[in-house]
């Protein structure tokens, strides 16, 4: 479910001709921000480089990094202050930085795009090419960054109504999206061990100003919301503040490496339960289902799987790595988002 939508907008790359407008994220006014500011005290300035960092997740991550004393350089389509373009990255290499992260990727569930061969190629190239470019630049850097983090998706794990997946569970080989995650993560691998390598497999990102909630609020506020399809499918979600927090933890904590699941600990949430919780948070009923036939008609059979099926994903290694969630429960997360 939404498992590759870590950036709900289009990120331009050398292979893409245009971009959708960036959706700005409001950084949550909560413990995440306060913790970030507190932890920055007395810490020397670090430099971070973020590919696709101007979108919903990238904006939240950049704000959190800056609050912790980082200087952030974005890799984006357009040049600007504290930015380099993808062409400049390819020609001039990675600017000096202590950590690098890639968030770039075409919005798979763009209802205005038909799921045809041309769009599929854009979905693939926007992920694989940008990741390969950053990995190549890191490998060639005279002083490579200490950490390299890639954000992919829980589409790696096969949808199931019964299975539970942690970071060591098998997957990545059963459909278009799982194979894409496998190739995506392979494109990020670096030779040697001079740079820590981390992959964060993100679930549905919830936050103000964008993400999945941005598309849901209007119908739910009107009392027209409800589950998608049967509603029985699992809904692996995470608050934007916690996803940004996990990324910062992965960038800064020297013991963190390998795969982390970027989902909330309340992993048993179903789509119907999420719909009821969002309706309750808004004080509105949420019982009108969005029929599976309509989902398939809009998105096509292959993409509809991302909405009609889901995975129960647990962040076992994320918790073991010492990350402390600010929004572990859905009700608290939704209350902050719609406040």
Give the residue from 51, 35, 2, 277 showing the smallest Cα distance to 151.
51
- pLDDT for res 176: 97
- pLDDT for res 5: 55
Residue 339 banded pLDDT, cuts 50, 70, 90: confident
pLDDT at 41 over 80: no
Query: Which pair of tokens denotes residue 22?
Result: 């960036």
Instruction: Quickly tell me which residue has 């809009």 as its tokens.
Output: 298
pLDDT tens string 300-327:
999 999 999 999 999 999 999 999 999 9
Worst-scoring range by mean pLDDT, 12-21, 23-32, 60-69? 12-21
Find the largest Cα–Cα distance for the chain.
Answer: 58
Rounded Cα distance, 272 and 294, in Å: 17
Question: In b/e form, how buried is each residue of 1-39, taking b as 16+ CB within 10 angstroms?
Answer: bbbbbbbbbbbbbeebeebeebbebebbeebbbebbeee
Question: 5 vs 282, which has greater pLDDT?
Answer: 282
Taking the CA atoms of 294, 295, 298 and 303 in sequence, report the sign of the dihedral they define.
negative
pTM (predicted TM-score): 0.89
């Amino acid at each position: 479910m939404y498992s590759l939508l870590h950036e709900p907008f289009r990120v331009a790359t050398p292979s893409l001709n245009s971009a959708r407008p960036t959706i700005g994220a409001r950084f949550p006014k909560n413990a995440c921000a306060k913790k970030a500011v507190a932890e920055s005290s007395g810490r020397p300035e670090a430099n971070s480089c973020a590919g696709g960092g101007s979108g919903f997740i990238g904006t939240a991550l950049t704000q959190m990094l800056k609050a912790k004393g980082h200087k952030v350089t974005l890799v984006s389509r357009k040049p600007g202050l504290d930015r380099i373009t993808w062409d400049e990255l390819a020609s001039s290499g990675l600017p000096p930085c202590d950590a690098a992260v890639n968030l770039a990727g075409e919005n798979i569930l763009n209802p205005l795009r038909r799921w045809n061969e041309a769009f599929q190629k854009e979905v693939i190239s926007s992920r694989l090419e940008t990741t390969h470019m950053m990995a190549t630049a890191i490998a060639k850097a005279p002083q490579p960054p200490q950490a390299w983090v890639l954000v992919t998706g829980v589409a790696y794990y096969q949808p199931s109504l019964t299975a539970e997946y942690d970071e060591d569970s098998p997957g990545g080989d059963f459909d278009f999206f799982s194979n894409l995650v496998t190739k995506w993560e392979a494109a990020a691998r670096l030779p040697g061990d001079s740079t820590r390598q981390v992959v964060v497999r993100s679930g549905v990102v919830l936050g103000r100003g964008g993400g999945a909630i941005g598309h849901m609020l209007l119908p739910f506020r009107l009392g027209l919301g409800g589950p998608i399809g049967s509603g029985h499918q699992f809904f692996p979600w995470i608050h934007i503040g916690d996803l940004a927090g996990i990324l910062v933890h992965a960038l800064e904590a020297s013991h963190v490496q390998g795969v982390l699941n970027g989902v909330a600990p309340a992993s048993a949430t179903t789509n119907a339960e999420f719909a009821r919780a969002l309706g309750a948070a808004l004080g509105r009923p949420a019982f009108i289902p969005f029929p599976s036939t309509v989902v398939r008609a809009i998105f096509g059979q292959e993409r509809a799987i991302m909405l009609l099926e889901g995975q129960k994903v647990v962040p076992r290694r994320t918790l073991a790595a010492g990350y402390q969630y600010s929004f572990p429960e859905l009700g608290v997360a939704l209350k902050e988002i719609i406040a």
